[in-house]
Structure 1
């Protein structure tokens, strides 16, 4: 890696030293491309970055390329459009659909939260305002241009790219970029070697530079079956005569849960408890699995099994009806890190009862309510009020949509020739550092942990 300025630059505007806000600027002497345009979540100092202007002019970008439709990778798009971006947003076909669902939900939650804060008077801003609204999302979606895996797309005379399957969520992609005479791989988020719903991530073999996520760079998921883990938690909660609340990401995680729970129910491995899906986003994404059957590894019958025996809750007023019903039940509700959404209303009512169980089934970023619950907090703040945590909190890691350390090394080791540098991003500091040491010791590749706002010359 050269230290003097050359004609290719990488600059990390988010997703460096943290797992949220992913934005990577690729710049030549004539063109600028942004890979991902994510929203910061979690710690307050990170969330405040969403309101600050970046040191780039969105109107000067030639293109934005999305790896996938999770909020931390696409959730800042409407802000860029508000600030003047009107170029193409490149994505796979399912990613466009997922992003539209995610952005609309994000806008609604922001608008509802602002209204709630203004009514309750617990915001320091007067009045509280959303970062963007539904109209901003509506202006964003026509900019999308969609592509298949393996299709080369030319952005300029010196930049072209291709999407490769990353195995993370529906439509997720590794981005292979040819920039001048060099190949740069942006991993996005990489799925496990043996994912439940997706095909395995594609392993590439040639690159000059690799930008790789490090979410679980310091841990292993283990060999426990998610079927066995869910079976034990469901049975345990049922025997307590309690309610199982599962905060869930709407994309991929909710669908995995539904498939596993219904399979266990069909096998009579768990009691036939009422099962509620209270995330409009999750419902819409589940429909996409039927429409995009070639983008995942489920059969038509398995897709139909996902939605069997499921009470679908679309309207907020029906949430209260679920809370009023007695007896054991399973509730899957957004959001996955308990940062907002319908799950907050369930927790307000159910958090203080020891009979109930809260099951965390995904990564919990620092500063989120999910992370507080995972860490054993005695109380959490919801809608301006504090609630005692009396319910049992459990976590399983076998359902993660991210590679663990071993799978990250397995994916990276395939780059056998010409790799000049690995950049690690999308990880908390301890995870990135642990993975850096493993890569150096076991693979011998040079590794840099990306720093926010720093420019790297290729």
Structure 2
């Protein structure tokens, strides 16, 4: 009787039908590897998934491979180590450095938020507990095993992989994995054709299977000048006598904003008002650009000038002083989707005033406060209290670390061999379906929208 066991399977444990919680389990009859290990964010029912046990035996998991250091791709790692995982975590060197900053900040925020919830009595859990702490991060970081791009790494007799630069954020990479006699390409997140800080994504010529992100699969980025847009919002808010508050991701987005604002300031395109960077994580990531010159397109001089004319805020007491200081100012504060961090303290004081502007500069996952603000919410809940939204809410969509539909199709056009199957993940329903139709109609490729928890047999 012939053995009917498939050569290997791919199971989507996260990042399917959503842009958060990316986790993909690759299994053969002898081995299993996890590609990305991200945290779920956004709607409460998504966040609750972080507390559920993963449907895998941690003792049998041989390796974790990270595409990059964003929380939705690396933020579950300390939970994995809590559960007993002690194998290698493969990553590029900058991804390891970025991940450590991200995880330590995540642990700190969780511990602080839990303490506030217990003190304020607005948690349904008694007592509320953090998902993980800094001690869990301490156990996680020694597991990292870093490698260069284009360097082949042997995991076991069935699997080997290498990283290829993806142009998304510092250290981000595609994972080209050879399993037995097949090649699987995991895109992670794909950068744009002409990124501001990164080099463009590497071209991939062939793969038997492709797991492709679809964050902006249903839209095209605006072609307007980000410099002009940001200049206009700064001037508009100053004319109102208000504060321009920019919730920002710490990795790449904060650095882009610093570069643009510094250029506008030196060109005298915006007035000489205070600019504050209130994200300790963003400050630490900015320093990494000088240490990883091979992973971005900036010169050493450009890296250093990003911090010119900017007042750095590290301690919470400094945050309070910035809030009390009168007059127009620009504040860049984490987090980018307004899910936590220092930006909440600014919003609590500024969101009620129509003279102020909240400028969103990145993707806002469904259910996040950023998404609610964009949808026109009249009030927003923060730390157990509701605050009326009177401030002007604006968005710059031309600043994005993700390729849009045209960028994704441009990247796919460089394949010389048609994949046997494309699996779409890391997108919401509309984006997934729009990109699926575009790929099948324009390229004629087989394309499947991955479903959460579903196992696919690969031959």
1:5-54: CA deviation from partner (whole Å, max 9, x where unpaired): 51210000000000000000011111000000000000000000000001
**CA offsets 1:328-385 (integer angstroms, 9 cap, x no match):** 0000000000000000000000000011000000000011000000111000001100
Conserved? CA contact 2:418–2:445, under 8 Å:
no
**Alpha-carbon distance in 1 for matches of 2:367, 2:440:** 31
Between the aligned partners of 1:376 and 1:364, the Cα distance in structure 2 is: 13
Matched, 1:83 2:83: yes
Any residues of structure 2 matched to 1:48-447 within 5 Å, and which?
A: 48-447=48-447
In the alignment, the residues of structure 1 paired with residue 259 and residue 333 of structure 2 have an alpha-carbon distance, to the nearest angstrom, of: 15
Structure 2: distance between partners of 1:6 and 1:224: 49
Contact 1:263 1:305 in 2 (8 A): no
Separation (CA, whole Å) in 2 of partners of 1:362 and 1:33: 31
Displacement, 1:265?
Answer: 0.6
- Secondary structure of residue in 2 paired with 1:358: strand
Q: CA RMSD in A?
A: 0.7
Q: Deviations over 1:38-89 (max 9, x none)?
A: 0000000000000000110122111000000000000000000000100000
Secondary structure, aligned partner of 2:340: coil
Relative to the length of structure 2, the TM-score reads 0.98
SS where residue 36 of structure 1 aligns? strand
Shift of 1:416: 2.8
Q: Could you tell me which runs of 5 or more consecutive residues in structure 2 were left unpaired when the two chains were aligned.
A: none
Q: Hey, what's the Cα distance between the residues in 1 that align with 2:439 and 2:230?
A: 33
Distance 2:387 2:260 in 1: 31
**By how many angstroms is 1:418 displaced?**
4.2
User: 1:354 & 1:249 partners in 2: Cα distance?
Assistant: 24
What is the alpha-carbon distance in structure 2 between the residues aligned to residue 132 and residue 70 of structure 1?
A: 17
- Change in Cα spacing, 1:443 to 1:378, as seen in structure 2 (3 Å) is same
Matched residues in 2 for 1:291 and 1:132: separation? 29
Q: Distance in 1 between matches of 2:161 and 2:285?
A: 27
Q: Which runs of 5+ in 1 are unaligned?
A: none
Paired position in structure 1 for 2:33 = 33
Aligned structure 1 segments of 4 or more residues deviating by more than 6 angstroms: none
Q: TM-score normalized by structure 1?
A: 0.99
Distance 2:134 2:105 in 1: 9
1:289-344 Cα shifts (integer Å, max 9, x gaps): 11111210001111111000111010111100000111100000000000000000
Aligned length: 455
**Which secondary structure does the structure 1 equivalent of 2:37 belong to?**
coil
Asked whether the 8 Å contact 1:59–1:83 carries over to 2, the reply is: no
- The residue aligned with 2:6 is 6
Distance in 1 (CA, whole Å) between partners of 2:63 and 2:47 is: 25
Partners of 2:318 and 2:57 in 1: CA distance: 44
Paired with 1:88 and 1:289, the residues of 2 have a C-alpha distance of: 25
Write the distance in 1 (CA, Å) between the matches of 2:222 and 2:381: 32
Query: Take 1:238 and 1:265, find their aligned partners in 2: how far apart are those partners?
Result: 14
Can you list the C-alpha shifts for 1:103-162, whole angstroms capped at 9, x where unaligned? 000000000000000000000000000000000000000000001111000000110000
SS in 2 for 1:185: strand
8 A Cα contact 1:183 1:209, kept in partner: yes
1:156 alignment partner, SS class = coil
